[in-house]
Amino acid sequence: MIETATLIIGAGPAGLAVAGRLRQAGLDFVMIEKSDRVGDSWHRHYDRLHLHTVKQLSHLPGLAFPHDYPRYVPRDRLAEYYADYARTFSIEPRFGEEAKTVRRSDGRWLTTTGTGPVVLSDNVVIATGLNQAPVQPSHPGAEVFSRRLIHSKEFRNADPFAGESVLVVGMGNTGAEIALDLSEAGVETSISVRGPVNIVPRDVLGRPTQLTARMLARLPVGLGDRVGTLIRRVTVGDLTPYGIATPEIAPLAQLRERGKTPVIDVGTVEAIKDGRITVRPAIDHLESDRVVFTDGSEGWYDSVILATGYRPMLEGLLPDGQDLLDENGLPRAAVGNGRYRGLFFVGFDNHRPGGVLGTVIEESAEVFERIKSS
């Protein structure tokens, strides 16, 4: 049995942000992490990944990014920064310990782990992240499809796909960037787009769109949405002739109301307009050697990459707390109240401009104040 004031589950940026604040205040905590390193997921993302958020709004509390880091920090340097953050604040997770269940027990929280230790704490901070389990849609015929069919979590770079014809399924940020990566490497690339997509450029005339979005979010809702829609229309234009419809909902409204980040474009739109990436409709079904789309057309591909997202998988971790989660399995709030007092979630709110990392800074401050005053 391990006893502590606060248990932090997860050593990614959300867990580190809370741990850093607690350490700087001299407050006790234990952190567990199922992998063998901090920021593990950032080591495993595809090679070309950079933050879409500017570095001055994406660092963890108490430690800015080094001056030589670029405006949009690349994956490998972000992973280095997280390791340095842990060293700077003497954050020493118990690696290889995965939380299995979190339950209320005599006014405290009892957390079981897969390796045996049980942790009893006054507070539990769940910071396991949004990307715990890949979503893999069950397309009819997938069991007989004879070509390579993988989830985007397995994609690192375009090298294994040289000389192939590849279909990327899904045009979120991951799908758009993987398609671009393949196209730039000379791979014959198509992307399957199921419905309308909100797309905004990462920068407009040298100004980060993130900063513009934060400014617009402070305007009256209708005005901010209208300005955002105008910017989208001027910078991206009408992509209907290329097979991508524009949704009626404004980019900011989509983020605010649905928690769905618009596609932050870093070159995919230009590649589509130039014909280097072909847009296809949604998949209807798969056959042994081909993909059949909803418009009746067919395509022959050597590989299909499913950029279809992830689920946080909190349901199993909280067997007695299903009312804490919404229909998408996400926490309804960062701070638990009533019988959930002392239970916190950091890094799951995707409804604010600035991305999850920006939200982590705000949520970790709120959680820290609650823990400090408890």
Return the ∠ at Cα 329 (arms to 361 and 142), rounded to 5°: 120
Q: Do 134-306 and 2-132+312-373 fall under one CATH topology? A: yes
pLDDT > 80? residue 350: no
Residues 6+ apart with CB under 8 A from 244: 171, 193, 196, 197, 199, 272, 279
Segment 156-195, tens digit of pLDDT: 999 999 999 999 999 999 999 999 999 999 999 999 999 9
Nearest-angstrom CA–CA distance, 71 and 64: 12
* pLDDT value at residue 214: 79
Segment 14-37, tens digit of pLDDT: 999 999 999 999 999 999 999 999
For residue 133, give the 3-state DSSP assignment.
Answer: strand
The mean pLDDT of 212-218, rounded to a whole number, is 80
pLDDT > 80? residue 353: no
- Residue % of the chain over a pLDDT of 70: 99
Return the ∠ at Cα 204 (arms to 276 and 189), rounded to 5°: 15
Residues 6+ apart with CB under 8 A from 329: 311, 312, 313, 314, 315
For residue 285, give the 3-state DSSP assignment.
Answer: strand
The mean pLDDT of 263-291, rounded to a whole number, is 97
Nearest-angstrom CA–CA distance, 331 and 323: 9
CATH of domain 2-132+312-373: 3.50.50.60
* pLDDT value at residue 222: 83
DSSP 192-220: E--S---EEESEETTEEHHHHHHHHHTS-
pTM of the model: 0.92
Mean pLDDT of the chain: 93
Confidence of residue 374 (pLDDT cuts 50, 70, 90): confident
pLDDT > 80? residue 351: no
Single-letter residue type at 352: R
In the block, which residue shows the tokens 């007092």? 341
pLDDT > 80? residue 89: yes
* pLDDT value at residue 244: 97
Segment 129-157, tens digit of pLDDT: 988 899 999 899 999 999 999 999 999 99
Segment 296-323, tens digit of pLDDT: 999 999 999 999 999 999 999 999 887 8
pLDDT > 90? residue 257: no
Residues 6+ apart with CB under 8 A from 255: 213, 261, 262, 350, 351, 352, 353
In the block, which residue shows the tokens 């009312």? 323
Nearest-angstrom CA–CA distance, 308 and 274: 25
Nearest-angstrom CA–CA distance, 368 and 76: 28
* pLDDT value at residue 354: 66
Domain range 134-306, CATH architecture: 3-Layer(bba) Sandwich (3.50)
pLDDT > 70? residue 276: yes
Q: Read off the DSSP letter of residue 262.
A: P
CB 9 within 8 A of CB 15: yes
For residue 31, give the 3-state DSSP assignment.
Answer: strand
CB 176 within 8 A of CB 197: no
Going from N- to C-terminal start, the domains of the chain cover: 2-132+312-373, 134-306
pLDDT > 70? residue 223: yes
